[in-house]
Amino acid sequence: MALELNKHAPLPLRFADLKLDIAPKDEDSKRHFTEAWNDLLVQLRSAVDKIKAEGSDMIPQVEFADLQNLKPEEIENIKRRGTVLVRNVVDNAQAAAWKFELENFVKVNPVEGVPEDDKQFFQHYWTRPQVQARAHPNVLNLITWLNNLYHVKVPTVDRQFAVNEVQKGVELATPLTYADRFRIRHPGVQWNTHPPHIDGGGIERWEEPTFRSCYKDILNGNWKNHDSYNLASVFRTFQGWLALSETAPTQGTLKVFPDVLLSSAYLILRPFFRLKEDRTSDDLLDQANWELDVSTPDFPGIFERDGVFFGPRLTPASHPHLRLEESMTAVPSVKPGDMVFWHCDVVHSVEQEHTGKEDSAVMYIPAVPLTPQNLSYVARQKESFLRGIPPPDFPKGAGEGSFIGVGKETDVIGEIGRKAMGLAF
Ligand SMILES: [Fe+2]
């Protein structure tokens, strides 16, 4: 294994100051911090061995109809894995009909998508199937269930102000709609655009004070206390998709690192440790070969391009202890109408190969709870919907308002669905 820690340009020096600022200062804290890292490496080793042995069985699967009857340990397992496959959320025939309609939509309209010469990932948000699926009562029910895995932490003295700010206007029981895109991926086509990564926030995880405070237990050397389900700075609680086709592992599906606590702790601590020059063990992953070091501005997985920082993008070289080549696990086979959700901190990727015979098609539908920030986004998103243009978070474009088969306000049925779209209060 080659350990090229940062083949990109070095990050600006201010990141060395940032690291120094976060890192423990006195000897006792440094020892505690290093012990926490060493312990994490030991835990990761056995966790990855288990993931490798169990494969897709590591990903929890539940029937939509059983959601309210899960045992506490099943819920804990879903939370720890960070990913869940929920079966039969939408009627199989309905999901297949939506796929048929989407196929027609991309045939009869001058759609935008990539790759340019054989479009499969579409920059469209307001097709009728998407508008209907987001308002489907079971989809919204499931999203509410997922949002409720989170909680707003009880105020503590040091963070009282920040927590109170967040608590105002948060309703986990009220789902909001976040309009995203869809894909209809063809078999046999290589897909290299989604290597292992985490969505929503790169260097901000360390640099932005509120975001960093979400990881304070990890940064204090107490990663076992880290709570991945505190709402403090979360926009989407889970990213997700609705399957529109039958798709098995190796057929271009989603892969995840199925332990959100360990991967979060490792991601956050990784910049503070380096491989020693003098190695005491032949095994590069052995904790004896690693040491605390805050002398460089490197944040492995964070890169700069034209003054913009992106990532975290994780590779076997930058994050060796995750053993991504062995641990990235495909979600089990899905059928039309099943949904897969993964926690916003989960390391995920899309399989490069699609060895199947059929298209692998999904609509992206994340879980978003009502918070003041999310509500103001939904208000702006609603305007985009009514005008048929891309939602505020996405690249501007002429839109699809005049396309055949675009969704209308009348396709958003039901009180909860209308409220989620900002169409009713
Ligand atoms: Fe992603």
State in Å: Cα 220 to ligand 1 middle. Answer: 28
Closest by Cα among 222, 344, 309, 320 to 270: 320
What per-residue confidence (pLDDT) applies to 167? 63
Quote the ligand 1 centre to 166 CA distance (angstroms).
25
What pLDDT is recorded for position 160?
A: 47
Query: How much is the pLDDT for 381?
Result: 98
Predicted local distance difference test score (pLDDT) of residue 154: 52
pLDDT of the residue at 165? 47
The answer to whether 126 touches 400, Cβ cutoff 8 Å, is yes
Tell me, in angstroms, the distance from the centre of ligand 1 to residue 198's CA. Answer: 6
- Cα(259) to centroid(ligand 1), Å: 16
Dihedral of CA 188/198/72/172: which sign? negative
Strands 339-343 and 83-87, sheet pairing: antiparallel
Ligand 1 centroid, distance to 367 Cα (angstroms): 14
For 314, the 3-state DSSP assignment is coil
**Cα 125 to averaged position of ligand 1 atoms, centre (Å):** 17
Domains in the chain (CATH in brackets) are 14-420 (2.60.120.330)
At 389, is the secondary structure helix, strand, or coil? coil
Q: Phi and psi of 397, rounded to 5°?
A: -165, 170
Q: What is the pLDDT of residue 2?
A: 40
Position 383 scores a pLDDT of 97
Tell me how far the alpha carbon of residue 29 lies from the centroid of ligand 1, in angstroms.
35
What is the pLDDT at residue 235?
82
Sheet order of strands, 121-122 included: 61-63, 83-87, 339-343, 238-243, 360-364, 182-185, 121-122, 113-114
Asked whether 336 and 99 are in contact (CB, 8 A), the reply is: yes
- The residue ranges of the chain whose pLDDT is under 50 are 1-6, 157-161, 163-165
Give how far Cα 3 sits from Cα of 48, 202, 347, 376, Å.
Answer: 19, 22, 20, 44
